[in-house]
Amino acid sequence: MRKNTQACYYSDYLQLDKLLDAQAMESERHGNPAHDEMLFIVTHQAYELWFKQMLHELRSVMSLFEGETLDDSALATTVHRLKRFTAIQRLVNEQITVLETMSPQDFLEFRDYLVPASGFQSVQFKELEIRLGLRRDQRTEADRQFFYARLKDEDRQYLLDLEQQETLTCQLDRWLARLPLLEFDGFAFWEHYRKASQAMLDSDEAIIRNTFDGDDLKVQLEELDGTRARFAALFDEAHYKQMREEGQLSLSHRALMSALFINLYRDEPLFHLPFQLLTTLMEIDELFTAWRYRHVLMVQRMLGSKIGTGGSSGSDYLRRNTEANRLFKDLYAISTYLLPKHALPALPEAIKKKVGFSLG
Ligand code: HEM
């Protein structure tokens, strides 16, 4: 048999010579080797490798969304890849447990050598945030400042260019808005929904009036008025536009209505995949937020109230980002508008057929 000189060899294929030679400890360079710095470097490198894979999935999903239509098999691929994205998120969230085996005092052995480097210079992390749809105006003032001030010029430019491109949130909006779910021949769904939601709110009001009195009653009725206003905005595009301008909602009116419809009729086979897509996106947000919380707690444990190596206020700065840097918030807002199944009309057969399995 002829010998294959090009045969694949494990360490060559994986370029392990480069990969395993890339753990240069700053503490060693300063002549004061700190045992735990290896764990610190390997953990961060493992994160960056997983970020690379997450971006690979995200970019592929975004290229599927780019076209004028998203057929069923593309939708299935999208959901599959985004679910892989969340599986990686779960894995990396757990990596914090490994890093926390380093004691705060052991961290102090090498921490000062790292200044002014910091996790907020992770371009891949920022790219994930931007591509998913985190807007610059959403970021806290401190986040905005650090974001642009602490990066190398080429990294800053790369991210600024990315901010000009379409995000997954925009693509989701376009897809939802073009689904044929808002107008049906001979089936006045949205009129039925408006009446059913009105009846639900009237019943809520009756329960409140029977249960509370005095100041409690006043507070509860004010809350209910707020909910009534949010429902009213669904049927009044000008009001909806105003809520959007105030930043209360970001999806377009059509997109939100379609997402609501999918949620209301998620048991219909037709809506299984679209519903999975919407829930997977919410999961991505939840898992990012869970990572941010765990990271804040780890930072508190390691630093107490010390500032970060990058110069931020440390855990306070990160806690504020955790609240501000949420994604796909509108998909959570949809729960406000859900009605119980028994209050919904069954979809007429003709409509099920008309919409078919290829939605958009
Ligand atoms: C001992 C462990 C760690 C400590 C004490 C720590 C500390 C901090 C601090 C204080 C900040 C705020 C910026 C600053 O002033 O430096 C920060 C930001 C950040 N860190 Fe960590 N970190 C640790 C581990 C990690 C790991 C393992 C990752 C994984 C990639 C990571 C990723 C990030 C990211 C992405 C940010 C920016 C977050 C944002 O701006 O919202 N950190 N870290």
pLDDT of residue 170: 96
Contact 272, 259 (CB under 8 A): no
Sequential pLDDT tens for the chain (360 residues): 556 668 999 999 999 999 999 999 999 999 999 999 999 999 999 999 999 999 999 999 999 999 888 888 899 999 999 999 999 999 999 999 999 999 999 999 999 999 999 999 999 999 999 999 999 989 999 888 887 788 999 999 999 999 999 999 999 999 999 988 888 777 888 899 999 999 999 999 999 999 999 999 999 999 999 999 989 999 998 989 998 898 888 999 999 999 999 999 998 888 999 999 999 999 999 999 999 999 999 999 999 988 888 888 889 999 999 999 999 999 999 998 999 989 888 888 777 665 555 555
pLDDT for the residue 3: 64
Q: Is 290 helix (H, G, I), strand (E, B) or coil?
A: helix
Number of H helices, E strands in the chain: 18, 0
At a CB cut-off of 8 Å and minimum separation 6, what does 169 contact?
A: 132, 133, 250, 327, 328
pLDDT value for 354: 59
Say what the pLDDT of residue 148 is. 78
Whose alpha carbon is nearest atom 38 of ligand 1? 120
For residues 277-288, one letter each, b for 16 or more C-beta atoms within 10 angstroms of the residue's C-beta and e for the rest, the string is bbebbebbbbbb
- How far is Cα 341 from Cα 319, in angstroms, rounded to an integer? 38
Peptide bond into 345 cis (omega under 30): no
> Which among 283, 287, 262, 354 has a CA at the least distance from the CA of 92?
287
Question: Does 318 sit in the ligand 1 pocket, CB within 6 Å?
Answer: yes
Q: Is the CB of 33 under 6 A from ligand 1?
A: no
* Ligand 1 atom with minimal separation from the 299 CA: 5
The per-residue pLDDT for 189 is: 87
Structure tokens at 158: 């790369």
Going by alpha carbons, the residue nearest to atom 33 of ligand 1 is 119
Residues in the chain: 360
Report the pLDDT value the prediction gives residue 249, as an integer from 0 to 100: 87
**pLDDT value for 45:** 98
- Residue 276 has a pLDDT of 97
CB atoms within 10 A of CB 115: 12
For residues 280 and 265, what is the distance between their CA atoms, to the nearest angstrom? 17
Domain extents in the chain: 33-181+252-355
Cβ neighbours for 125, distance < 8 A, ≥ 6 positions apart:
51, 119
Report the CATH fold assignment for 33-181+252-355.
Methane Monooxygenase Hydroxylase; Chain G, domain 1 (1.20.58)
Q: Separation of 100 CA from ligand 1 center, angstroms?
A: 13
The torsion defined by the Cα of 304, 318, 100 and 58, in degrees rounded to 10, comes to -170
Closest CA to ligand 1's atom 40: 120
The rounded Å distance from CA 248 to ligand 1 centre is 29
Q: Report the separation in Å between the CA atom of 290 and the middle of ligand 1, taken as the mean of its atom positions.
A: 14
The per-residue pLDDT for 181 is 84
Q: Does residue 124's CB lie within 6 angstroms of at least one atom of ligand 1?
A: no
